[in-house]
Amino acid sequence: MRLAIFDIDGTLVQGSSERMFWRFLLARRRQGLRQLAAYALFMIRYVPVGGIHTVKRNKAYLSGLDTGEIAELAEEFVRTRLLRELHAPAVERLNRHVARGDKVMLMSGTLQPIARSLARHLGAAEAWATLANERGGRYTANPPETHPFDVGKLVLARELARSAGADLAQAAAYGDSRHDLPLLRAVGEPVAVRPDAKLLEVAERLGWEVLPDAGRSPLPFSKAEESRFL
């Protein structure tokens, strides 16, 4: 079995899925003083330790919100908003992997409910993303339980490859950022998707494939299905 591992933000999706989701929650009046204060306090507390990347780990804007409700809202968000922001070349490549029987995994620092819903819509086998801390069915302001980012993606990918009986050196991986380099260097087929400057430099030097920006992907459902969500 061959693995194909796809990043989400900047790779499958044009932009940040989580920033879009935050605006979605704001429009649904699921963001108030408690959530905004928790987000700010998280930054104050953890920036001295985690630096600029603390903002990526900060899921405290979910503090106090019901996990089941967020899962439902994430599904609605993906279906009605995020599917319009897909990056066509990356989705085409994902479809190609699915068609030939590869095990496709989404791996991202975005929220797990978002990644899980997107995986279902795209036909990916699994999604591994950030598990925000929760207690008693509600999210807390504590650091996330897992956060696949930078070398953390490589560690997780190695564990998943071992459990699946797959060889990571034979896998394909797709990413857009310098923070995807640890994983991309470890696989047999690294692909840079709309890469940042550092990733582009490495990709060109090592002869990796580069997928350019070619616009948004058509929605992966019919016009009749689309009309139900508008």
Q: Residue-wise over 104-134: b if at least 16 C-beta within 10 A, else e?
A: bbbbbbbbbbbbbbbbebbebebbbbbebbb
Q: What is the pLDDT of residue 215?
A: 53
Q: Does domain 3-228 have CATH number 3.40.50.1000?
A: yes
Q: What is the pLDDT of residue 203?
A: 98
Q: Residue-wise over 172-195: b if at least 16 C-beta within 10 A, else e?
A: bbbbbbbbbbbbbebbebbbbbbb
Q: Where are the domains of the chain?
A: 3-228
* Residue for token pair 């992907």: 217
Q: Dihedral of the CA atoms 76, 77, 82, 83 (nearest 10)?
A: 10
Q: What is the pLDDT of residue 3?
A: 97
CA distances from 140 to 1, 35, 60 (A): 38, 10, 7
Global pTM value: 0.90
Q: What is the pLDDT of residue 212?
A: 80
Please check whether residue 128 is in contact with residue 105, taking contact to mean a CB–CB distance below 8 angstroms.
Answer: yes
Residue 119, token pair as written in the block: 């995986």
Q: Which residues contact 3 (CB under 8 A, 6 or more apart)?
A: 102, 103, 104, 105, 157, 160, 161, 164, 166, 168, 170, 171, 172
pLDDT lower than 70: segments of the chain:
214-230
Q: What is the pLDDT of residue 127?
A: 98
Rg (C-alpha) for the chain, rounded Å, is 18
Q: What is the pLDDT of residue 157?
A: 97
